Structures are given as structure tokens and as C-alpha cells.
A = this chain, B = another copy of it.
Amino acid sequence: MNKLSREVAIIGIGQTKFGENWDLSFRELGIQAGIEAIKDSGIESKVIDALYVGNMSAGLFMDQEHVASMVMEEVGLADRQVPATRVEAADASGALALRQGILDIASGHSNVVIVGGSEKVTDVTSDIASEFIMAGADRAWEGLFGASLPSLFALMARKHMHDFGTTREQLAQVAVKNHYNGARNPIAQFQREIDIDTVINANPIADPLGVFDCFPVSDGAAALVLCDMKTALEYCNDPVKIIGTGQGSDTISISNRKDITTIRSTVKAAERAYEMAGIGPSDIDVAEVHDSYTIAEILAIEDLGFFGKGEGGKAVEDGETALTGSIPINTSGGLKARGHPFGATGIAQINELVLQLRSKADGRQVNNVQKVLAQNLGGTGGTSLVHILEVA
């Protein structure tokens, strides 16, 4: 069917700083982001009908499942027994929570929904975290044979370099651009610029990827308030309308895919979102994409149709994806510089796009932003979600 029975809008956003937030627990992160989103929306919490939480691995990181119930209590919704639902698709959990919130409102069941994403990673050491991250890919058929998440993306990078002539410098330029943008984002984890040499000469992680080609260890939470369009117009003058939502899945292991330079789940999620919105890639003004590794951003901008197959590396090199380019990508700094607290990332992407649509992205604002797109990936592409927004 690929349509929704009711229009859905975003009326408020909230977010913690991303980074090594040693002093904040999972609960505290959730409270900060949730309360800020509620305040930004202008609603009272008593009108909230449901809560959705995107979280990747609280079970592994904190020995704690059932976190939606916990967050619901912390943001003060326990007295009304507000339904609280956790969804998970590795590091695409945030966008998945958004999608379930959209479907809940479109179904006619809820009017006002709060959607959050959160992850507390620094309760474990970073070597243990690296191990746990592999739970988003295929543990039995990849992890047990020694593959790590960066090594799987390194395979994709090597193949892309081989097939299309993508260069090490082009990969590095993704990180350079995202750090440039992050330096202009006051809630980014890394607010400093880096140069290409720094990326290329950094400690190797999985050849050709070095430490600056990879997302950092981040704690953080992000939240937003969704409602049906009629309710939205009661609370705010500039609601952001969700005009497309698309989700696609693929095999969890990359060994069962015919082609590792295309993420089919992203191609299909984008196709579904564009179809629902009735637009195409050339209509998008700004996009946040899932640059867990530099190669992932190059694959994303091709799979989303912004550039032809194999042309992503050159587009980055030519500055097409820079703030002043034809399609600015990851104005927030992306996963690389804004940070990547897994479950929070999909919501943080949306929050940045809402700021761009509201012309409130300060030093990184793009001119005349009308339509924006977010793409959030789980693991190596077992899940991908694409959302398209515009000012209502």
C-alpha cells in the first residue's frame, strides 16, 4: 500500500550532548532528551499517548532489557501507564522507533507520541564495546570467524575501490568534511577540524580504514514529539511534516549478498520513501546519512540516488556534499563527528534536519532548505530506514 491514513508531523526536538558522558546514566540521558523535546513542543506530558524507544544493546552494555518501561517512568508517564515500546535493529533502532511512532499515529490509535533513542556505551571498556557492536552483524557466521564490524566495511571499501577507482583520499575526505561540519555544531562530540593527512596516517583499524574512518564511542540520547497534523497545528506554527517513510531489510551477513558495493536495504527503503513522498533524489536539499565508516557514506549517497553508482567518491572529492555543495550531507557532523550513540543516532539525524528546516542550524545552516532526507543503517545493512521531511 505504501501510504498512511493520517498525516504525521514533528513538533519538538531534544538532545543531550553526545560523547563520553561519564557522569550521566542511561536514565539521566533519557530524561534530558525527553524533557527537552516536550518543552520544545509546547505540549503538556499529560497528552502523550505513547512512547517509543530505539535502543541497540542495553542488554549487553548494561545487563538491562525492558528499557522503554524504565524511560517511561523517568519522564513521568508511569502514573497513566502510558504504553512504552522498545524497538531494535542494531544502530538503526532510532529511525525504527520513529517509524513505529508514525505508524501508531497513522493507525488512528494515538495522537501524540514521544519517540526517543538512547545508548549508554561507556559503562563497558571500549574493547568490550567493540565486541558487542558485532552483535548487530551475523555473530554465528561472521563474528565467530573473526570478522569485526570495521573489517566488514573494509571489505566493502576495498571492493568499491577495485570496481570504481574510489581512492583512499576520497574516503578520508568524508571524515574531513564531517569534522568541518561538527566544528560548527555545539552538540557534536568532536568540534574540531581535521585534514586528510591526519585521516590517512591515523592508526589502522581494518585496511583501508583507519581510526578516523570510524565512528567514535558515544553515550547520548535524542527525542522528538510526533503528532497528527491537526494536533500539530494546535501547538505550533511551523510543524515539520513527514512525507515519506521507507524501511528495507537485507540478509544480516554480507556473505549472502550478491553485491557488497550496494546496500539493497537502503536502495529499497529510499525507493519506498520517495514513492510515498511523490518526489525523487533531486528534490532533496540536505541529507543526514549513516556514516558509521567513511565508506558507508559513499555507499549511502549512491544508494539514495544522489550520485550514480561508483561516482560517490568523486562527488565527495569535488565538494558536492560539502555545506556549499549541490547536496550537503551530514551537516551535523554525521556519526563521525557528532557522535554515534547507536539507538540515538536515527533521532539525532532527524533533529538536525528539523533545525535545517527551521533555519536554526547556525554556522552550518544551508540556504533555502525545503525538503530533507535521513538514512539510518543497522549493522552492515541488515536494516535501513529512510525518512523524508518538509515544512508543513
Contacts and interface: CB of A to CB of B under 8 A. Distances in A.
Contacts of A331: none
A265 B382 CA distance: 33
A132 B73 CA distance: 22
Contacts of A139: 62-64
B59 A248 contact: no
Interface string A128-140: 0000101111111
B82 A249 contact: yes
A10 interface: no
A69 interface: yes
Interface stretch (A104-112, A153-161, A168-176, A179-187): A104-112
B1 A49 contact: yes
Nearest to A104: B103
A378 interface: yes
As for how many copies of this chain the complex holds, the number is 2
Interface string A1-12: 111111000000
Nearest to A384: B81
Nearest to A77: B249
Nearest to A247: B83
Nearest to A136: B66
A8 to B, nearest CB: 10
A108 B4 contact: yes
A65 B56 contact: yes
Nearest to A378: B66
A5 B266 CA distance: 29
B103 A72 contact: no
20 contacts: A4-B107, A5-B6, A56-B65, A57-B59, A63-B134, A64-B135, A66-B89, A66-B90, A69-B90, A69-B378, A73-B249, A81-B250, A86-B89, A103-B103, A103-B104, A103-B107, A103-B109, A106-B107, A106-B109, A107-B108
Interface of A: 1-6, 25, 49-51, 56-57, 59-60, 62-66, 68-70, 72-73, 77-78, 80-90, 96, 99-100, 102-104, 106-111, 132, 134-140, 143, 247-252, 256, 264-265, 267-269, 378-379, 382-383
Given A5-B108, A64-B135, A66-B383, 15 more contacts: A60-B60, A63-B135, A65-B90, A65-B136, A66-B88, A66-B89, A66-B382, A69-B89, A69-B249, A69-B379, A81-B265, A81-B267, A85-B247, A86-B88, A103-B107
